[in-house]
């Protein structure tokens, strides 16, 4: 896993020290409204999640990048290619709410998708809660095709209608 760059952004492999920045998203109820798990109420919860992400990377099942501005290094969010297997991976992203609408998610995901194709992946998948119009529009702009809509148990006892997307290596 390597560092990726765009004109405005630097994507570096996620490390445990990024937990504090990740907490700025995971503790924001509006940013977590379309996530499968409720937001974190304290930094220890986010540190536990950060450890799970690092462990998953160490098993080479997923790639998580911390997105920061260039120059300056201000935290923007995280993007990932998770559940890598059989030339496929799932795409995920979380951007600080105050930075929504600035094109950062599109820019970070575009360079990550290029990296996915370069690394030999053939298919990327994504899932968004059906009422998450921002993510749905973003995935469509990036070329993802919607392939299904169905209820998903996002956590024990909680079901949401979700849209499923695919993007094939050209």
Evaluate whether residue 88 is within a structural domain.
yes
Neighbours of 55 (CB within 10 A): 11
| Angle, CA 86 vertex, CA 19 and CA 5 arms, to 5° | 45
For 37-61, the pLDDT digits (tens) are 889 999 999 999 999 999 999 998 8
Evaluate whether residue 79 is within a structural domain.
yes
For 121-134, the pLDDT digits (tens) are 999 999 999 999 99
pLDDT at 66 over 90: yes
Who contacts 24 (Cβ-Cβ below 8 Å, separation ≥6)? Answer: 75, 96
Domain count, the chain: 1
Q: How far apart are CA 102 and CA 90, in angstroms?
A: 23
For 91-117, the pLDDT digits (tens) are 999 999 999 999 999 999 999 999 999
Residue 68: band (very low, low, confident or very high) from pLDDT cuts 50, 70, 90: very high
Residue 3: band (very low, low, confident or very high) from pLDDT cuts 50, 70, 90: very high
Residue 36 sits in a domain whose CATH number is 3.40.630.30
Evaluate whether residue 71 is within a structural domain.
yes
Q: Which domain holds residue 82?
A: 4-122
Strand order in the sheet with 63-69: 4-5, 9-13, 63-69, 75-85, 88-95, 123-129, 158-168, 145-155
């Amino acid at each position: 896993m390597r560092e990726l760059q765009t004109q405005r952004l630097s994507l570096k492999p996620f490390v445990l020290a990024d937990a504090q920045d990740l907490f700025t998203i995971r503790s924001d109820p509006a940013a977590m409204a379309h996530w499968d798990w409720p937001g974190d109420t304290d930094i220890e919860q986010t540190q536990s999640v950060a450890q799970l992400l690092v462990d998953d990377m160490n098993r080479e099942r997923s790639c998580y990048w911390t997105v920061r501005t260039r120059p300056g290094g201000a935290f923007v969010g995280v993007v990932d290619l998770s559940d890598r297997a059989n030339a496929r991976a799932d795409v995920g992203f979380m951007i600080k709410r105050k930075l929504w609408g600035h094109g950062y998610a599109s820019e970070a995901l575009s360079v990550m998708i290029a990296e996915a194709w370069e690394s030999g992946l053939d298919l990327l998948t994504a899932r968004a809660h059906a009422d998450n119009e921002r993510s749905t529009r973003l995935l469509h702009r990036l070329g993802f095709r919607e392939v299904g809509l169905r209820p998903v148990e996002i956590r024990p006892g909680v079901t949401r209608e979700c849209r499923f997307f695919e993007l094939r290596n050209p």
